[in-house]
Each structure stands twice: as structure tokens, then as C-alpha cells.
Structure 1
Amino acid sequence: MTEFTGTYHATIDDKGRFVLPSAFKKEMGEMALEPLVIERNLFKNCLDIYPEAFWKNRVEAFKSTLDPFDEEDDAFLQFFYENFIKVGMAANGRINVPGEYLGYGKLTKSVRLIGMGRSIRMWDSAEYEAGRMDKSTFAKRFQEKRKKKQEGQ
């Protein structure tokens, strides 16, 4: 089962390209031959990168909650589709990120790529460090979540 983990550094060149770390490319296996989907993260100024197979599952789950004949749902779907783009990956792992996506993520030269299970999150290195959760906050929130789950059982 494919699951992206770990944190890696990469560099964006002047043409908006970066090379996917070999650990992520290896984890993709045959999916590395398929298109990738780059999505503007809805909560933070970063990008999420999905293998197309994982993205299709996400799209179907989202669309199944909507009524195609409802005007509000139609606008909702349009917003959803406006926030991602399909791209290819060269044999060497190089990916070209469109300029408007680089701008959204405030991505400059140095980026951080974080495995997020089914996706890879792409941050500008400085933005990532500025907003990164510290260990004590993680421990506290983890304990709160566990307690809440135990109380719900």
C-alpha cells in the first residue's frame, strides 16, 4: 500500500520545476507513470500533490455528496475544480508547477515536501518553519484527541 511519509527538501528552478525526492517516486511505483494532481490547500498557503489514482477517489467521494441539479452545489463543484490541475512527471522525477500555483503557495526557491499518507504537501521552507506545530503542542493535542475518542466510546 502506498503511503507517503517523511520530510524532504527540494529546490524550485527558474522555470518552476522541482525534482520529486526519490523516496516519494519509489513509493508511487507504477503510479509514477500517471499524471499527478496539484491542489491548492484550502486551509493554508501550500500545495497538495496526489497521484491521479488517489485523486480520483477523492473527487468521487466529494461529488457523491452533491446534487448536480442544485445551483449551490454546482457553484461548490466549480470552486472545487478551480483549485487543482493535472501535471506530468518526467522520467527523472521533475515536475513543473504552474506559476499561479507557485504564487498561491508562496513558493520561492527552497521548498519542503512532507508525506501526508495519500498525498505530498509542498511548502515554502520559510513558511513551513514559521507555522510548524511544535512538539509540546502536538503532544497536548494528541492527548486531547485520545481522551475525546475514549469518552465517545
Structure 2
Amino acid sequence: MSHFLGEFDCKLDTKGRMMIPVGLKKQLPEAEREGLVINRGFEKHLVIYTRKEWDKIVEDLAKLNQYEKKTREFIRYFTRGASELTLDAANRVLLPKALTDYAGIGTDVVLSCQFNKIEVWAKDAYDSQMDNEPENFANLAEEVMGNLGRAANE
């Protein structure tokens, strides 16, 4: 499984194309061959997956009980707008307009690597999100991560 690293400031050109930064491109060796998938995030941002990672997600979704209304709704909203991205000769990808509109993305973009995915944020929305860091980050870390050691010992 790929784990991406880094945070990258990018710009969209007038056609909605974004250059993949060199530091990120090096982490995506299969992107030219297999492609990438972009989708809506849970907050107002977008998420880029490698094709292999997206296929794993779709396999998990296919295992859910589609006779349940909440499941159908989740799948419908989660996959809404999912699109393939292809790198052109200049290492650019064209971000779908419907998705950039959803995320409020204009010209300035931040790519934030999160394990097996790359979040795509409008720069101002990302800065605002990061400016709202919890007053006591150590308490949040304990609350979220504190049970890891206990679970292993049980």
C-alpha cells in the first residue's frame, strides 16, 4: 500500500488543469500507466486515489448490503462525481469542473497527502481548517490514539 507524504501548493490554469508537483509525482510511479481517480471528500474538498486504491474501495462498497436504504444513499453520495484523471505530457491533470465547483476550488490549491490518498483543497479553505487546530492537540491525540496500546495488550 502506498503512503504519500507531503503538502504541496499548486495552481490551476484557466482550463482547470493542475501540474502534479515533482515531489508528489515521484511517489506516483504507476499513475501514468494505471491512472488516478478523483472524488468528493467528506468535507468540502476532493480526494485523489491511485486506481489500485480506488479499486479496493469499490470492492469494499460492493460487499455492503445494497438492500438497505442508508447503504444505497452512502454509496450514491460517496461515488458521486468520481472521475478518472490522466496525466498529460506536461504532468498535468484536468480537474472536473463539477468537482472543483463542489469544493469551491478556484486557482490556488493545496494537495495534502493523507496515507493512501491525496486531499485537494481550495487554499483558503485548507488554511482556515488548519487555523482551527484544537487548543490542546495533546488531548486530542490521547483521545484518538490513546486506546491503541490498550487494545494490543488485551
Q: Do both proteins adopt the same fold according to a TM-score greater than 0.5, normalized to the shorter chain?
A: yes
Q: 1:95 aligns with which of 93, 96, 115?
A: 93
Instruction: Report the 3-state secondary structure (helix = DSSP H, G, I; strand = E; otherwise coil) of the residue aligned with 2:29.
Output: helix
| Structure 1 spans left out of the alignment, 5+ residues | none
Letter in 2 for 1:141: L
Instruction: Report the 3-state secondary structure (helix = DSSP H, G, I; strand = E; otherwise coil) of the residue aligned with 1:28.
Output: coil
Deviation at 1:114, TM superposition (A): 0.7
Q: Deviations over 1:95-140 (max 9, x none)?
A: 1011111111110111110111111101111110111153754332
C-alpha distance in structure 2 between counterparts of 1:51 and 1:10, whole Å: 19
C-alpha distance in structure 1 between counterparts of 2:63 and 2:92, whole Å: 34
Partner residue in 2 for 1:41: 41
Instruction: Report the 3-state secondary structure (helix = DSSP H, G, I; strand = E; otherwise coil) of the residue aligned with 1:126.
Output: helix
Partner residue in 2 for 1:8: 8
Letter in 1 for 2:29: G
C-alpha distance in structure 1 between counterparts of 2:51 and 2:31, whole Å: 8
C-alpha distance in structure 2 between counterparts of 1:23 and 1:4, whole Å: 10
Letter in 2 for 1:116: Q
**Change in CA separation of 1:149 and 1:3 when aligned onto 2, cut-off 3 Å:** closer
C-alpha distance in structure 1 between counterparts of 2:134 and 2:90, whole Å: 35
Tell me the TM-score normalised to structure 1 length. Answer: 0.85
Letter in 2 for 1:93: N
| Structure 2 spans left out of the alignment, 5+ residues | none
Matched positions, count: 150
